[in-house]
Amino acid sequence: MKRNWILPERPGARVLLALYALLFATAWQFGRKMHIESAYDGRMTENYLLPWTGRDWLLLFALAAVVFLLACLALRLFRTGRAAIGTEPLRVWRNGWFWGSWALLMILWLPYLLRYYPAFFFADTSQSVGQAFDLSTLSNRNPILYTLFIRLCLRVGGALSSKDVTAGCFVYALVQMLTLSGALAALCTWVGERGRLHWYGRTALALIFGLDPYVAAISIAMWKDPFFAAFVVLWTLELANLVLPEKPEKRSTAWGLRFFLLTLLVLFSRNNGFSAILGGAAGLLVLFLRRRRQRKESAALRPALLLTLVALLLWGIMIVPVYRQLGVGTPKEEIGGLMLNQMARVAASEEGVLSEEEESFLNEMLPLERYPAAYRPCCVDLLKWDDAFNFEALRGSRFMKMWFSILPQNVGIYAEGWVLETFGFWALNRPESVGSTANISVGSPLNFKYEGETKVRGRTLRFENKLPAFLDFLPLPTDTPSLPLGPLNWLLLLLALLLLLNGEGSLVLPLLPSLGIATGMLVGTPIYYLARYELPVQLLVPLFLLLACRGRGAAPAESRR
């Protein structure tokens, strides 16, 4: 019987690729069927889903068939023409390219720090600064570690003993820039060595990060995302180093301490760090179980798995009993923002079905007559900020109980609410997300609102342009395009599938933290799209491209310089 040249031989592979194609086509079609007038603050009459027609279903299945064939072709190409990548042990900090790339990134980003001195400062930042001065007000809405680090920077800058926080903010921005540039220098060096790039390829990779206004501007933004992204990048490189060496490498105590510290930093630097670490932990567990009969290979994975599980246990202990004992908690509206908006959609919709108990709860949270005006399909923030919103109603277990109680009679409304609030992270054809350029201005930095100086919690914050006059010609934009997360997440998922179906499942491990972050956005995002929420995924694209060009063929003994 003649062999099919494009379709996978194994039925399981065909099923997985067909499912991927169907989901991809569904995402495309939902993007077409959205009517969005004002994504952030548009009401139900402005942001809604158009009804599906028979033509839409035909287009869906036609597109799914095309995507399925293209995915099958990609799998076929994956099995031919491998490009060898380095598998020898690698210590990036012992490589001259690492130090050179680090210095280059700092030099290229420095004009941003001088032009927007002391840093991009946001309303969210002022809350953390206030908590840093008064530890009795601590809340895990912004991670405690992040707030304590701000306190340290303010202390170094002398702000704790004065009425001026400018120097402390500058210290924060400088350390953040050093951390993010160091992580990206490690990534550039790692990709350069593993990919055996020539010197100009390595230089070009560092220049891409150094000259990209999106990365440069966010490196001095006083958000928790840049630190979080740096830690995720470094932890991902550690996972990649676990599976790339052909011979299992014995792990030292120093490596164990570094791996454990990075795991904790990812967990405690951002609340969705849990999804990143959980993804990596799941991959480590599966690999360990698959290799348990191969003692050397399973022994190399055992310490990483144990350290990750211990870190998760420690995180759980801190977040629940310890923080609770200290009176520190994460507001329920931050954890369940998406669920809150789904419940509000039921209350605002004429088709919503509610029992008396459910109506009573929703009315306690916000008067029922206010929901049509307060509910925003694409963002939960304006609902929470309504003057009549009662945060006390979210305390305890009643919130989750009511969410599950309302669900059975309102599945369609819940689904519509999910689509309209998460579409930026999976839609492929929405200009509100794919064409988004609002990187810094979306946070309304005080740098743009006030000139000279302003007051933050009763303390002075001064904004100055310290860029030398001869460099004033430099364009230093703050809002520029970045890699759109919807298409990026779909390509990342496809890469994981291709590696898995090609018998290289171990190489999926470095993808799992990013897939975990992307999945977390689908179940817990408060807004339809913010690029910085998946900053680590965007920064790790060079690693993804290298794995897409993966291979285990013969390679030169030394990297080309």
pLDDT tens-digit series, residues 420-456:
999 999 999 999 999 999 999 998 999 988 878 899 8
| Nearest of 489, 531, 421, 514 to residue 30 by alpha carbon | 421
- pLDDT (0 to 100) of residue 248: 63
Question: pLDDT-based confidence at 3, cuts 50/70/90?
Answer: low
User: Does residue 388 or residue 325 have the better pLDDT?
Assistant: 388
- pLDDT (0 to 100) of residue 331: 66
Question: pLDDT-based confidence at 332, cuts 50/70/90?
Answer: low
Question: pLDDT-based confidence at 330, cuts 50/70/90?
Answer: low
User: Does residue 293 or residue 405 have the better pLDDT?
Assistant: 405
Question: pLDDT-based confidence at 416, cuts 50/70/90?
Answer: very high
Bond before 118 cis per omega within 30 degrees? yes
Residue 388: which residues within 8 A CB-CB, separation 6 or more? 366, 367, 370, 374
Mean local confidence (pLDDT), 104-133: 93
Query: Between helices 295-317 and 225-243, what is the axis angle to 10°?
Result: 160
CA distance 269 to 281: 18
Q: What are phi and psi of 527, to 5 degrees?
A: -150, 155
Of all residues in the chain, what percent carry a pLDDT higher than 90?
A: 66
pTM passes above 0.85: yes
| Nearest of 200, 177, 176 to residue 188 by alpha carbon | 200
Mean local confidence (pLDDT), 25-42: 95
- Whether 4 shows a pLDDT value over 50: the answer reads yes
- pLDDT (0 to 100) of residue 120: 96
Mean local confidence (pLDDT), 54-73: 96
- pLDDT (0 to 100) of residue 7: 82
| Average pLDDT of the residues of the chain | 89
> Do 149 and 179 touch, CB atoms closer than 8 A?
no
Give burial (CB, 10 Å; 0-12/13-18/19+) of 346.
buried
Question: pLDDT-based confidence at 280, cuts 50/70/90?
Answer: very high
Mean local confidence (pLDDT), 78-99: 77
